[in-house]
Amino acid sequence: FAEARRARGSVVALSVFCAGEGCLQRSLATALLCRMWGSWPTWCTGVRTQPFAAHAWVEAEGQPVDEPLPADHYRTIMAVGPHVPPTTT
């Protein structure tokens, strides 16, 4: 979580597009920066219905990273988590 928070902070500090309303750019840049550092948070997209809004964010250790709204504010539509190799039996 701390690494994802640090990545998000770096992205927001360096990009005007990511600091404002650019949730898609911010979340992708955060996930890719984490990947460059050797980890991968869960990248998520979701919606709320009343009023309709779409959103993208990253999660680490099961919680959204520095999002201003509660975790259940958006319904997750798609999540891309870290690769877990299949186990052999």
Tens of pLDDT, residue by residue over 52-82, are: 999 999 999 999 999 988 888 999 999 999 8
Alpha helices in 15-65, H assignment, sequence order: 16-19, 23-36
The domains of the chain are located at 2-80
pTM: 0.87
CB atoms within 10 A of CB 44: 21
pLDDT reading at 14 higher than 80 = yes
Could you give the angle at which helices 2-14 and 23-36 cross, rounded to 10 degrees?
120
Q: Residue 57: which H helix or E strand, with range?
A: strand 52-60
Instruction: At 77, list the tokens.
Output: 């539509």
pLDDT of 18 > 90? The answer is no
